[in-house]
Amino acid sequence: MATNYDAAVNSFYLAYYGRPADPAGLAYWSQALAQNNGDFSAIVDAFSTSTEATDRFGSATPADRIADVYQQLFNRAPDQAGLDYWTKAIDSGTVSIADAAIQIMNGAQDTDAQLSTLRQEAAAQFTAAVAASGVPYDGSAAIDAARVLIAAVTPTTSAADITALVTATKSLVQTAHDNPEVIAALAGSGSLTTLLASSSGKADPVAMVEALASVGKAAATDTTALTTLKQGGGMAGIVDSLPAGTSLHDVTQAADQGGLTAVDNIVTPPAPVDTTPPAAPKVELVADTGSSATDHLTNDGQVKISGLEAGATWQYSVDGKTWHTGPAAGNTGTALLDTSATGDQTLHVRSTDAAGNVSATTTLQYTLKTAFVPTLALQGADGNDLTVTSLVTNTDNYWVSLHGAKGAAAVGFQVSATGADGTWTDAKDSDPLADGTHFIRYVVTDAAGNTAPSNALKIVMDHALPGAPAVQLVQDTGVSATDHFTSNGQVKVSGLDAAAAWSYSTDAGTTWTAGPAADTGGVALLDLGAGAHSLLVREFGQADGTETFGLGSLDYTVQAAVNARLAFQGTDGKDLAATSLLTNTDNYWVNLYGAKNAATVEFQLSDTGADGTWVGAKDSDPLADGTHFIRYVVTDLAGNTGTTNALEVDMDKTAPAAPTVSFVNDTGASATDHVTYAGQIQVDGIEAGATWQYTDDGIHWIPGTAPDTNGHATAWLTNGQHTLQVRVVDAAGNATTTSMPYTLEGEAPAAGLAFDHIAGGAQGGTQTALTKADLVFAYTGTIDAGASVNVQIGAGSFVTATGATIDATAKTVTLHDVDLSASDPMVTLSVTSLGGLSTYTTPVTIDGPFVSYSAQALDTGISLTSTQAGHAYLTDGGNASVQIGEAAAGTTTFGVQTTAVQGILGVGPSATVHTDNGITYALGTAGADTLSGQNVWGYDGDDHITALGTADNSDNHVTSAIYGGNGADTISATAGSSTFVYRAVQESTIVADGQAAHGFDVINVGTGSAAQATHMQVLDFGVKIDGFYTESAQTLSGTETGTELLGLINAAVHFQAAGKPEAAYVDFSGAAGTPGVHFLVVDVDGNGTIGAADYAVEIVGTLDLTRAYVTADTGHMLLTTA
């Protein structure tokens, strides 16, 4: 069982053994301490001689043991002074090692005490955890495992860390019990606690203990893994071998998920699989023999493949489909491939590394050309090759055709006198040949670098032969007779041999066309038509069986007609389709076509465009306003003359008339002051076909709406003070601008304008005793200069508020010396801006001086006597009031039943409560009312009336007067009040068809409680009563109708004075459980019975009937409460 010494024993285990207590030992030694009242001397000897102590500390010196205690408790070595002290004490026998351990633990201070406490808490939690879970905690391996918990607790260990450490250590202890070899394997060459002193253990002791628990658990069931763990240096070997970026948490996760194999994979990751393809090989010609080292044209078919990875093979394809393995590469990663196919080739090459990865494909396109044969031939008159191989000529402009040299890199010309090998010399084919025999050939080097000579041709040069044919225009019609510009395209070729053939070319000798036969004079005519021509003419003949040749030429231009055209030019430089132009400037632009290289160009004008009206002019001269037609007359170099089409130019340089600008509604003080709140303008006088724009800032021009047929348009302006500019632009672009300054008001002045106070009075107050006063109105907005102030008094018209002042700083408007003497005026103020916008106040009634009056309560109403006329009001005491009439000067009576209102009577120019010497008045309304006052009139019954008055029991000083209305009323007095006068208005029906007391007035006379002190009610029935009697009557059942009750009353009373009004108090007792009912009845007509002309009033409360009496002078009934 647990004792109070569990914590002390566990702490002793920590200090002495450096581990948590096992549950059995804890229970045993705690019980022993309890039996010895906590005296540790009872157990220290047993601890010192225990098997665990002997096995662990058998050869340790006292200094070693003191060092262990310090390490176990404080995680540090002892200071030298402390070590010397305790060693000396142990050596002298003063204390035992166990005693020293206890004293060192109990004497800990500061950080030592903090760490010792944390380790004691961890030990206590661990012992409790293994006891609760049943984990076996015995044996040396389990004890070594448990010491890891103590070593892992540091000064920064949190409560959560202790929980995690206890869980991990409990798992490690279980593993130690199941397979003790695991603990030794984990420790390696050291101990488990030394792992906590490593850098990894210090950095994260919780992670280290969790890793020990997970790795140990994984090794416990795997013999091979356990052996590997031992051979690998235990947990220290794993930690030391962790790659960078790998943590103890990774080790824990790996061990939990995949055992030690997964941990080994973290420590020694498997070699990565090579999935990277090798670089694409480089493919190039060994010798690019073409004219450029990069043109891929060669006569050498060897290809070099380089950049091959060691151990890789390579393949090639000539069609991209079928692949062949290439020869092995040398140490430098280079291989050679011989290709023999001539022509255009496409070679694809790729490599495959030892892992089987295939590179990207490299493609080489090249042309292999190994041989060619150029040929040379004389060219005939038709441009075709001649079969003869010799030519006799008198000109160096003979023609040959060289075949096989297209696209050649180089072509050389050679000359020989004999044509024999070794006699050929380089020359230029443009150089003239001397008279004599020559052999010519060309040496051609193709683009692939192959070189070959053409066949040779024999040229016999004889400048004495007849000359070349003459070529000239039949008629040169141009500006000059020798400029070769003409309108006549005929060409004369002369000097031809009648027997010879001739041909001509217009493309620099590329193609030749046979010419027509010459006449007997050796002349032929040729017409090539219009255009520019470069004409070559050649003649062929025979001399001694050998071809002869002569060449002539002529450059000329034939123009058959002038095709000139004129168009207006748009802003983009292109032609406009329009043939007429309205403009206000002479800088318009036209495009003239067909005049390039013209001999002359003339500008002409006409007013109508009709034939015979055109006159020469300068196109730079200005045009006057009006319609004009323009054109150009063009004479070309060939002498042809042509006239362009005509264009119409309508010149308008006159500005339009200025428009008239005004507001549609100029709401300001003047119809022309341009101050308004209506922002629509009207623009008049806009010229037909013109547009218009407007601006109020001089920068942003707004297009106006299209004007109507009368030249009228409108627009809306923006608020503020601006200068309006309006400009009209006519169809020709001429503009006229007019301006108008204006002010457009966007909001009314004096926003928030309202009555504020009477000068000298409180804010919001509307009462004053002055007959003239200043009225102050406040506003929140603005009032611009020039605004006017107007006032309306009563139902009159608004007039200028003469003398009114505006305080822009205080934001007030003040009306001065307002007359309040005649009546209470209703005042309305307005402020109007220059533009006509107005702001109005809510009408306010100003209370002038009060009217002096006197009031008297009558049975029939209220009588008012006043020296002035005034308004009579009833008010509820607040602001709500009803005017009941006008009190004229003198006396005015207000009837009770004609005024269906209630409240406190007031007379004066306002509804504020005014009373006559503090006396209040109330008038009932239709229906049930709750009324109170000193003078109260009921209206139609069912009213609840409370008399207000002061304590005065004298009939001559009655302080309340109550007038019951038609119907049943309930009348009472306030607590502590004195008498009130009950003036009953005769009931319309004294008996109703309801229960008892219905249809009767009810008077509450009090109950005798403290709230209703003894007081007296005075009842006034409008007649002088001569006698008063008290009568007792039978018991009521409580179900009597009014009629029955009236009969019972008449049966009970016994009036004695015939013909005189008398009163009686009738006391009806109630049935069992029913209160009694009491009536005061008055025989007004003195006929001895109570009828329709009489009164019957129910009395509620207790009366002192011995003190009830009728006054002799007034005949009033005086009732005193008990």
Q: Is the dihedral of CA 1085, 1090, 1092, 1098 positive or negative?
A: positive
Residue burial 730-760, b: 16+ Cβ < 10 Å; e: rest: bbbebbbbbebebbbbeebbbeebebbbbee
Q: Between these two residues, 460 and 995, which has the higher pLDDT value?
A: 460
pLDDT value of residue 805: 93
> CA-to-CA distance for 984 and 938, rounded, in angstroms?
9
Which is nearest to 892 in space by CA: 884, 902, 900?
884
pLDDT value of residue 885: 57
Q: Is the dihedral of CA 1004, 1008, 1013, 1014 positive or negative?
A: positive
Give residue 929's pLDDT band: very low, low, confident or very high (50, 70, 90): low
Which distant-in-sequence residues (6+ apart) come within 8 Å of 253 by Cβ?
Answer: none
pLDDT in tens, 668-697: 877 788 888 888 999 999 999 999 999 999
* 58-67, 620-629, 862-871: segment of lowest average pLDDT: 862-871
The amino acid at 532: A
Which distant-in-sequence residues (6+ apart) come within 8 Å of 302 by Cβ?
Answer: 285, 286, 287, 336, 337, 338, 339
Q: How many other CB atoms sit within 10 Å of the CB of residue 174? A: 22
Residue burial 490-510, b: 16+ Cβ < 10 Å; e: rest: ebebbbbbeebbbbbbbeebe
* Whether 277 contacts 360, CB under 8 Å: yes
* Whether 212 contacts 238, CB under 8 Å: no
pLDDT at 557 over 70: yes
Rg over CA atoms, the chain: 69
Q: Between these two residues, 1089 and 794, which has the higher pLDDT value?
A: 1089
Q: What is the mean pLDDT of residues 600-623?
A: 92
For residue 570, tell me if it sits in a domain.
no
pLDDT at 624 over 50: yes
> Does one domain contain both 66 and 209?
no
pLDDT value of residue 753: 93
For residue 565, tell me if it sits in a domain.
no
In the block, tokens 């002309």 appear at: 1093
Output the DSSP codes for 521-540.
TS-EEEE--SEEEEEEEEEE
Output the DSSP codes for 816-877.
EEEE-SSS--EEEEEEE-TTS-EEEPPPEE-B-SPPPEEEEEETTEEEEEESS-EEEEEE-S
Q: How many other CB atoms sit within 10 Å of the CB of residue 958? A: 21
Distances (CA, A) of 610 to 563, 605, 633: 21, 11, 15
pLDDT in tens, 319-357: 888 999 989 888 888 988 888 788 888 989 999 988 889
Give residue 902's pLDDT band: very low, low, confident or very high (50, 70, 90): very low
Mean pLDDT estimate for the chain: 80
> Does one domain contain both 130 and 143?
no
Give residue 935's pLDDT band: very low, low, confident or very high (50, 70, 90): low
pLDDT at 754 over 90: yes
pLDDT at 598 over 60: yes
> CA-to-CA distance for 82 and 90, rounded, in angstroms?
12
Q: State whether residue 192 is helix, strand or coil.
A: helix
* Whether 978 contacts 952, CB under 8 Å: yes
Which is nearest to 561 in space by CA: 508, 589, 526, 598?
598
> CA-to-CA distance for 114 and 106, rounded, in angstroms?
12
User: Do the strands 680-684 and 713-716 form a parallel or antiparallel pair, or are they unpaired?
Assistant: antiparallel
pLDDT value of residue 795: 77
For residue 1013, tell me if it sits in a domain.
yes
pLDDT value of residue 737: 94
pLDDT value of residue 943: 66
> Does one domain contain both 939 and 1074?
yes
Q: How many other CB atoms sit within 10 Å of the CB of residue 674? A: 19
Q: How many other CB atoms sit within 10 Å of the CB of residue 582? A: 16
* CATH code, domain carrying 65: 1.10.3130
pLDDT value of residue 1008: 41
> CA-to-CA distance for 565 and 575, rounded, in angstroms?
11
> Does one domain contain both 809 and 871?
no
Residue 875 structural domain: 850-916
For residue 573, tell me if it sits in a domain.
no
For residue 568, tell me if it sits in a domain.
no
Token pair, residue 61, equals 């010196």
Instruction: Determine phi and psi for 687, rounding to 5 degrees.
Output: -60, 145
Q: What is the mean pLDDT of residues 518-532?
A: 86
> CA-to-CA distance for 588 and 600, rounded, in angstroms?
22
Q: Between these two residues, 594 and 940, which has the higher pLDDT value?
A: 594
| CA angle 905–911–916, rounded 5-degree value | 35
Q: How many other CB atoms sit within 10 Å of the CB of residue 270? A: 7
Give residue 914's pLDDT band: very low, low, confident or very high (50, 70, 90): very low
> CA-to-CA distance for 131 and 109, rounded, in angstroms?
31
Give residue 360's pLDDT band: very low, low, confident or very high (50, 70, 90): very high
> CA-to-CA distance for 797 and 801, rounded, in angstroms?
12
Percent of the chain with pLDDT over 90: 22
pLDDT value of residue 926: 56
> Does one domain contain both 144 and 10?
no
The number of distinct structural domains making up the chain is 10
Token pair, residue 564, equals 């000139």
> Does one domain contain both 829 and 948?
no
> CA-to-CA distance for 784 and 747, rounded, in angstroms?
11
For residue 150, tell me if it sits in a domain.
yes
Give residue 899's pLDDT band: very low, low, confident or very high (50, 70, 90): very low
> Does one domain contain both 454 and 475?
no
For residue 841, tell me if it sits in a domain.
yes
Please report which helix (H) or strand (E) contains residue 502, including its range.
Answer: strand 501-505
User: Do the strands 702-703 and 546-558 form a parallel or antiparallel pair, or are they unpaired?
Assistant: unpaired
> Does one domain contain both 379 and 254?
no
> Does one domain contain both 23 and 118?
yes
Counts of helices then strands in the chain (DSSP H, E): 18, 70
> Does one domain contain both 129 and 141?
no
Token pair, residue 819, equals 């007359």
pLDDT at 918 over 70: no
* CATH code, domain carrying 802: 2.60.40
Q: What is the mean pLDDT of residues 1110-1117?
A: 76
> Does one domain contain both 495 and 644?
no
For residue 569, tell me if it sits in a domain.
no
pLDDT in tens, 366-381: 888 877 788 988 887 6
* Whether 734 contacts 741, CB under 8 Å: no
Please report which helix (H) or strand (E) contains residue 403, including its range.
Answer: strand 400-403
Give residue 260's pLDDT band: very low, low, confident or very high (50, 70, 90): confident
Q: Which of 241, 270, 299 is the last residue of a domain?
A: 270
Q: What is the mean pLDDT of residues 1017-1024?
A: 73
Q: Which of 134, 154, 182 is the last residue of a domain?
A: 134
pLDDT value of residue 1023: 79
pLDDT at 273 over 60: yes
pLDDT value of residue 961: 60
pLDDT value of residue 700: 92
pLDDT at 466 over 80: no
- Calculate the CA 1116 to chain-centre distance: 88
> Does one domain contain both 497 and 414?
no
In the block, tokens 């009912």 appear at: 1077
Give residue 924's pLDDT band: very low, low, confident or very high (50, 70, 90): low
Percent of the chain with pLDDT over 70: 81
pTM listed for this prediction: 0.35
pLDDT at 888 over 80: no
pLDDT in tens, 229-256: 888 888 888 888 888 888 889 889 988 8
Q: Between these two residues, 77 and 846, which has the higher pLDDT value?
A: 77
> CA-to-CA distance for 46 and 49, rounded, in angstroms?
5
Give residue 871's pLDDT band: very low, low, confident or very high (50, 70, 90): low
pLDDT value of residue 905: 54
pLDDT in tens, 1042-1056: 677 778 888 888 888
Q: Which of 601, 617, 651 is the last residue of a domain?
A: 651
* CATH code, domain carrying 345: 2.60.40.10
User: Do the strands 590-593 and 565-568 form a parallel or antiparallel pair, or are they unpaired?
Assistant: antiparallel
pLDDT in tens, 3-17: 578 888 888 888 888
